[in-house]
Structure 1
Amino acid sequence: MSNETKQVITRIGETDQLYLTNNTPSLALERADLRLQLVILSHVRQEQLHFLQEAIVLLEQARIEYDEMPLSIYLNLSLYLAKAYMIYYELTKEQRFALITQQILKPLAHHDHLDIYFFLAYASAVKQEQALTRHWLIKYVSCFNHDLELLHAHPAFDLIRKEDWFKALIRKKAH
């Protein structure tokens, strides 16, 4: 086991103890993030699925458990949840996880958030919904901090990179 994995597991123990005395949405976010880190660090599919399921439960529960929380925390919980479901998609190739991601993030799209647009484009691309992929990518690149390299490198966009509209969008934003 690597040192990084040991550190993550140690921190999971610490945050799980904190949960018993003072649970907060921020703590739930940290606890879920630690489990997502273990998904990335693990090379055993069953472990990955286990930690992914734990992260999803923590995030889902935190989103509904608290009557009030700062919008930024709610958005982060939602984005981490979308990320978890898309990791689930990457592990299983089941498109239903892209649909779940869309259901989580579409109601939040009015917040004009770069990562929301990216994950909606990603989920739409996975589902081969080209019009929606285009719509969300246009919104994504209209954000100040968009990452064109990410669009060039991410495998979800392999099929649309050949499309004229995609080339034009990238060319327009690159200049």
Structure 2
Amino acid sequence: MRLNSQQIIERLGETDQLYLQGNTPELALERADLRLQLVSLSQFYQEQVHFLQEAVVLLEQGRVEFEEMPLRLYINLSLHLAKAYMIFFELTKEPRYALITQQILKPMTHYEHGEIYFFLAYASVSKNEPALTRHWLKKYSTSSEFDLGLLQQHPAFEAYRSLEWFEKLLKSKMH
């Protein structure tokens, strides 16, 4: 369920109060996710950057502050962090944010999680690395998290849609 900005701000206040009672990785993830939602709702660049910076800090802290957490939660924190950096890239067009995404996720490829592959492909296309883009998209296409609609509609892959290998990849998933 997508919340409106008033509901997000109310929940933000609630989760910030919960943080004062003690932090958990789940709480860090929720607090960062709320900020990422505000980024998507905001029309103001400075506001977007502010919420992105807060989200990054919360996610980085959540990934390292706790000695033990379920693997799925660690992956979710990392994927949200990658998402935050790619939003930074979209706002600024600075390739360093795509590089940071690659640095966060590349060590995690042994988990064989499709969303990790997707964000690595997204970062690679953003850095104009066609061979790596193809590599990560091929891995993504064989994962259980593969989303054909996302790949067909994501604007980052527009330049690849007419390439033979990309068309074959899409066709292989349509049947």
| C-alpha distance after superposition, 1:31-63 (max 9, x if no partner) | 000000100111111100000000000001111
Q: Secondary structure at the match of 1:158?
A: helix
TM-score normalised per structure 1: 0.96
Instruction: Return 141-150 or 32-41, whichever deviates more.
Output: 141-150
> Which residue number in structure 1 is paired with residue 36 of structure 2?
36
Distance in 1 (alpha carbons) for counterparts of 2:156 and 2:120? 12
**Alignment length (residue pairs):** 173
Shift of 1:145: 3.6
Shift of 1:164: 1.1
Q: Which sections of structure 2, spanning at least 5 residues, go unmatched?
A: none
Identical counterparts, % of pairs = 65
Q: Secondary structure at the match of 1:162?
A: coil
| C-alpha distance after superposition, 1:82-133 (max 9, x if no partner) | 0000011111111110000000000111111111011000000101111110
Do the aligned partners of residues 88 and 138 (structure 1) sit closer, same or farther apart at CA in structure 2, a change above 3 Å counting?
Answer: same
> Which residue number in structure 2 is paired with residue 120 of structure 1?
120
> Which residue number in structure 2 is paired with residue 108 of structure 1?
108
TM-score normalised per structure 2: 0.96
Q: Which amino acid aligns with 1:54?
A: E
Q: Secondary structure at the match of 1:128?
A: coil
Q: Which sections of structure 1, spanning at least 5 residues, go unmatched?
A: none
CA RMSD of aligned residues (A): 1.1
Shift of 1:144: 2.6
Q: Secondary structure at the match of 2:116?
A: helix
Q: Which amino acid aligns with 1:35?
A: R
Distance in 2 (alpha carbons) for counterparts of 1:45 and 1:123? 21
